[in-house]
Chains A and B, each alone.
Chain A
Amino acid sequence: MQTQQEHAFEFTGKGWEYFRIWIVNLLLSILTLGIYSAWAKVRRLQYFYRNTQLAGASFEYHGTPIAILKGRIIAFVLLAAYTVAGQMNPLLGILIFLLLAVVMPWLIVRSLRFKLYNSSYRGLRFGFSGSDGGAYAVFLLLPILTILTLYLLAPFTHFKIKQYQHNNSRFGDTFFRFDATSGNFYGIYLKALGLLLLAGVFFGISAALHMPVLMVILPLLYLYIVGFLAVRLPNLIWSKTGLGEHDLYSRMEVGKYLWIAFTNLLGIVLTLGLYIPFAQIRMAQYKFSCMGLLAQGDLAEFVAGQVQTDSATGEEAAEMFDLDISL
């Protein structure tokens, strides 16, 4: 058994530094009626990627603003078509909705490919080789089945989506792997459901005792459930993800996460939004400080094991639809 070496992520972004970049780009986005926001998005991602350090090297984002602009125009047209058609004629609205549902998995695959191919670390690109068929199964078929089973299948669907995404992702020539089971997902969702039931019981007790003061606890409990899901799911997903023989981990804590999310919200509201860049930096700092890589052997061995043959990226670039639909 080889020794494992732990390498934590480190996020080095600074609030004031990012604020200056953010506000200038926001102004330009507003003055150009949103067109420049594609350039602003590329800068934001570059700033966050380059400030994310792992084992002495940072990540890089290579996406071009034009590709993002194209994706946004497509998304805008689809949404506008759906809204307008639905207003004019409900039947036409349903037709466009069905069309959207059929096109969406295909678009998601292109978008994932774009996102991963345009990310790199130590000069090697990430990649995505999920098939369209797989995407239709997890992004169309399973969601329909989920609704038909009154959401009993929801944790399973979530599991399959993450499995499809992570098993088909690569770093250079090395594939990621996803070792979670659907049972892991059901465990977390059932705990959240249990907390929700607890809230219900609590509500019943405080109503029966005519003690409305106890109701104050309800929103707190609800907030805790939201934080619980926002922390435990990423923890599970990343801790069960590996790269080749190496493992990743995420160890966020619900209390700390909620504190940051709450103070961020407060800051944003009190400053009419000027705190947004600071809030994003704080959250990224916390999330990355809880994440890391468990490398088999030492770092030199991990690094030496990562290679990229030309065929892998060449194929990807040629087939690139150059589209990013995530807004």
Chain B
Amino acid sequence: MSVAAQYFDGRTATAHGVTLTLDGEWLQLRGDLLAREWPLRDVRVSERLGDTPRRITLPDGGHCEVTDHAALDVLLKQGGYRSSWLDGMQHSMRWALLSALLIVLVFAAAYRYLLPWGAEVVARSIPPNMLQKMGASSLQTLDKLMLEPSKLDPARQQALREAYAKLSPLPDAQLAYRIEFRSAPQIGPNAFALPDGNIVMLDELVALTQDDDEIIAVLAHERGHVEQRHALRMVLQSSAVGLAMTWYMGDVSSLLATVPAMLVQASYSRDMEREADEYAARTLQLNAKSPCLLPDILQKLEAAHAKRQADARKENGGSVMDYLASHPATQERSALLCPAH
């Protein structure tokens, strides 16, 4: 078997047309004015890379470039040259598709398992004084953007504060808790926890019920979110997703990369809601209150939001921010929290 090749001596740029043949263990090079040979084991052959010329590096400092791949493969096979396992993979369509599939699987697994775990580890290691700073600055931002001062009767505020102060925390609780009363007509009935343990309670939620214990149940649920660092974990997760997207997309502007991250991580996960429900139930039990208080207020919340949405749809065909979108069906949560209900 002879293979046509271009020989370069490494000192001048001139190409010499040569043929390569194999004689036992020896690689022979023959050209117009050239006749050389080397043991095949002293010669380095570059790996196959698509249809690119293959390069045979010779001990004399020169090299050959070969474009007749089929002939070279035959010659190399004769010489006992074995290509690497990667060589086959890089040139097979089946491996390309399998790789694409595996990449998707790896990302999915990392997103499902690695990301929440990593976010939790990091969230738990953030020191309390940092949490305080984060809580204060988020409240400031919220006040500027969407919250108004509370119009709730100060006596009712005081009563709720006292009732909440009396609520004994679970033994492993780490943060001090306070209620911040605010109003936000465009958000509707809602309450949310800040990273430092302060809970923003909206007038619209307080107006839903006369039973203070139901408010306490919501507060216990929000406390569960704080104790388990849910908000922090969400922030960490979405920034990690954004970062990964930016890296993967490379040239594409980072703006494009953050959009899907925001869509993916819009609100608490269902698992987080379940964890917070469970935390609330345990707190209520510890304080000799019925765990059924939470489903009661949840049902009222759901009804209120359904009404708001219907109203909004009637008014302008659009929909308002849907607080309950990520919450597990209220029925299901009730069943879990108070089976006797």
Interface set of A (CB-CB < 8 Å, partner B): 12-14, 17-21, 23-27, 30-31, 43, 46-47, 50-51, 56-58, 60, 121-124, 172, 265, 268-269, 273-274, 276, 303-304, 306-310
- Do the beta carbons of A50 and B52 come within 8 Å of each other? yes
Query: How far apart are the CA atoms of A31 and B107 in the complex, in Å?
Result: 10
Residue of B51, B52, B92, B251 most packed against chain A (CB within 10 A): B52
Tell me, in angstroms, the Cα distance from A172 to B9 when the chains sit together: 13
A47 and B52 contacting across the interface, CB-CB below 8 Å: yes
Contacts of A56 on B, CB cut-off 8 Å? Answer: 15
B14 touches A303 (CB 8 A): yes
A51 and B52 contact, Cβ closer than 8 Å, known pairs A20-B90, A265-B251, A268-B252: yes
CB distance from A6 to the nearest CB of B (A): 18
Given contacts A14-B50, A26-B103, A47-B52, contact A123 B250 (CB under 8 A): no
* A307 and B12 contact, CB distance less than 8 A: yes
B53 → A minimal CB distance (Å): 6
Interface pair A50/B90, CB less than 8 Å apart: no
CA distance A235 to B46 in the complex (A): 34
| Chain A residue, CB-CB nearest to B250 | A276
A46:B63 contact, CB within 8 angstroms = no
Alpha-carbon distance between A123 and B11 when the two chains are bound, in angstroms: 7
Cross-chain pair count, CB within 8 angstroms: 109
Q: Are A57 and B92 in contact (CB under 8 A)?
A: no
Q: Which of B93-101, B221-229, B289-297 forms contacts with chain A? A: B93-101
CB pair B92 A20 closer than 8 Å: yes
Known: A31-B106, A122-B15, A123-B10. A58 touches B99 (CB 8 A): no
Whether B13 lies near A26 (C-beta < 8 A) is no
Contacts of B15 in A (CB 8 A): 56-57, 122, 303
Bound-state CA distance A17–B51 (Å) is 8
Q: Are B49 and A57 touching (Cβ within 8 A)?
A: no
Known interface pairs A268-B249, A273-B248, A306-B12. Does A23 touch B49 (Cβ–Cβ under 8 Å)? no
Q: Is A43 in contact with B93, judged by CB distance below 8 angstroms?
A: no
Residues in B lying within 8 Å of A, measured CB to CB = 6, 8-15, 46, 49-53, 55, 62-63, 65, 86, 89-93, 95-96, 99-100, 102-103, 106, 248-252, 256
> Is chain A's binding surface mostly helix, strand, loop or mixed?
helix
Contact B49 A50 (CB under 8 A): yes
Nearest first, the 9 A-B pairs at minimum CB distance are A123-B8, A50-B52, A306-B13, A122-B13, A17-B50, A27-B99, A20-B96, A23-B99, A303-B13
Closest to A303 in B: B13
In the bound complex, CA of A60 to CA of B6 (Å): 14
- A56's nearest neighbour on chain B, judged by CB, is B15
What chain B residues lie within 8 Å of A23 (beta carbons)? 96, 99-100, 103
- Of the candidates A58, A274, A306, the one whose C-beta lies within 8 Å of that of B53 is A58
CB distance from B155 to the nearest CB of A (A): 46
Known: A304-B13, A310-B11. 9 other contacts (CB 8 A): A12-B52, A14-B50, A18-B50, A23-B96, A30-B103, A50-B52, A268-B252, A307-B13, A308-B12
What residues of A have a CB within 8 angstroms of the CB of B55 in the complex? 50, 60
Whether B13 pairs with A12 at a CB distance below 8 angstroms is no
Please, how many angstroms separate the alpha-carbon atoms of A159 and B16 in the complex?
40
Report if A57-B6 is in contact (Cβ < 8 Å); known contacts: A24-B89, A26-B99, A306-B13: yes
